[in-house]
Amino acid sequence: MLRTKVLIIGGGPAGSTAARFLAKEGIDTILLERNFSFVKPCGGGIPDAAFDELGIPRNIIKKDVKNIKLVSPLNNAVDIRLEGGFIAIVKRGEFDSLLREDAKVKGAQLIEAGFNHFEEAGKQITARVNINGKEEQIRTDYLIAADGVNSRVRLALGLKLSSAVYTLTTKIKNDNADTCEFWFGESHARKSYSWIFPEAEGISAGTGSSDPGELKGMLKAFFGRRGLNADSTATRIYKVPLWSGELYNKDNILFIGDAAGQVMPLTYEGIYYAMKAGEFAAMAIIAGKPSDYKKLWRKRFNSRFMIMRKLCDYFLRDDNSAEKLVSLCRRHEIQAATMKLWLEKSSDGRKLISFANFFRKVLN
């Protein structure tokens, strides 16, 4: 049986970041990732400020995106130029490996293995894991569940998974873009939007819906509307969790990133918040107070997530509301406030209040 102070399940941005912070403080940490070659289907867009904040080298950035385009159901378009920052595009496989390697350099033990279930999950925690086809046990004081939207740790504890929106994405190699495009319209995206994202090579195009069964037809409809070649469809369905803000820790088991549903409503931005959750979980464990994790996360992000959930529920409910959203985003002060909220991640309460006030008229 292996023994450690902290066992982290999942080596994506959330788990690797927790491992980096714990190992840096000399805490005995094992990071378990079931497949080092796994590449998460993801646009790989991260606000550039996150790189300095979290000590990640900027040379991993493949593209700087400074333009955003919103297109309404009735084809009204708004182009927004980002100021004071940009969306950095990374290649997810490369980015996740870099974070894991950094955790290793700082002293974490990396093991390619899958979590199966718990032998015990009370005062003592013993996990059963699959290493090279053999089941082994790892005993630990703390366990961090960073195993993504289909979290096996949640299921093993009898906890429900977050509700989710389903996405279907395709990569188109022989196309190019320097703008992130968000297309609204119920004919091709339900309770969601369709998008074009610049990639390191080519673009990714995708759409979202609460019903996975209608995604193929919707992606085709989006391709038609956007004028994309519908033949290049090597597609993948993947879930984005819908945030509810209920799950932080169960005693010494902490949930972070997609496993905790920590994806920003409306924008579906999850990488930055997954990494910050990893940092906060590590800080709470270092302090020996796992319940601090919830306090740290809520203090920094709860108001922002609540506001965005309200806006998401309102603006993504039908075409009329999406039309209003794009029309509102024509106003310079709304563009500026939205981009600040996206690119600057400080918890400045005044900025949040002024942002909420902009939209109050519409929501009431």
Ligand X SMILES: Cc1cc2nc3c(=O)[nH]c(=O)nc-3n(C[C@H](O)[C@H](O)[C@H](O)COP(=O)(O)OP(=O)(O)OC[C@H]3O[C@@H](n4cnc5c(N)ncnc54)[C@H](O)[C@@H]3O)c2cc1C
Contacting positions for ligand X (CB under 6 A): 9-15, 32-35, 38, 40-46, 114-115, 146-148, 152, 167, 169, 206, 238, 240, 257-259, 263, 268-272, 274
Least distance in Å: CB of 226 to ligand X? Answer: 16
CA atoms within 13 A on the CB side of 287: 13
Distance of CA 8 to the CA centre of its chain: 18
Least distance in Å: CB of 90 to ligand X? Answer: 9
Least distance in Å: CB of 169 to ligand X? Answer: 4
Residue 1 amino acid letter: M
The nearer residue to ligand X, 147 or 292, going by C-beta atoms, is: 147
Least distance in Å: CB of 32 to ligand X? Answer: 5
Least distance in Å: CB of 78 to ligand X? Answer: 20
Pairing verdict, β 109-112 and 114-121: unpaired
Residue with tokens 């088991």: 253
The nearer residue to ligand X, 146 or 325, going by C-beta atoms, is: 146
DSSP track, 139-205: EEEEEEE---TT-HHHHHTTPPPPPEEEEEEEEETT---SEEEEE--TTT-SSS-EEEEE-SSSEEE
Asked if residue 63 lies in contact with residue 200, where contact means CB atoms within 8 angstroms, the answer is yes
What is the total residue count of the chain?
Answer: 364
Asked if residue 323 lies in contact with residue 315, where contact means CB atoms within 8 angstroms, the answer is no
The nearer residue to ligand X, 33 or 102, going by C-beta atoms, is: 33
**CA triple 127-133-134, angle to 5 deg:** 55
The nearer residue to ligand X, 175 or 323, going by C-beta atoms, is: 175
- Chain residue at closest Cβ approach to ligand X: 270
**CA triple 273-274-280, angle to 5 deg:** 85
The nearer residue to ligand X, 232 or 327, going by C-beta atoms, is: 232
Secondary element (H or E) of residue 271:
helix 271-286
The nearer residue to ligand X, 43 or 290, going by C-beta atoms, is: 43
The nearer residue to ligand X, 108 or 274, going by C-beta atoms, is: 274
Least distance in Å: CB of 68 to ligand X? Answer: 12
Least distance in Å: CB of 94 to ligand X? Answer: 13
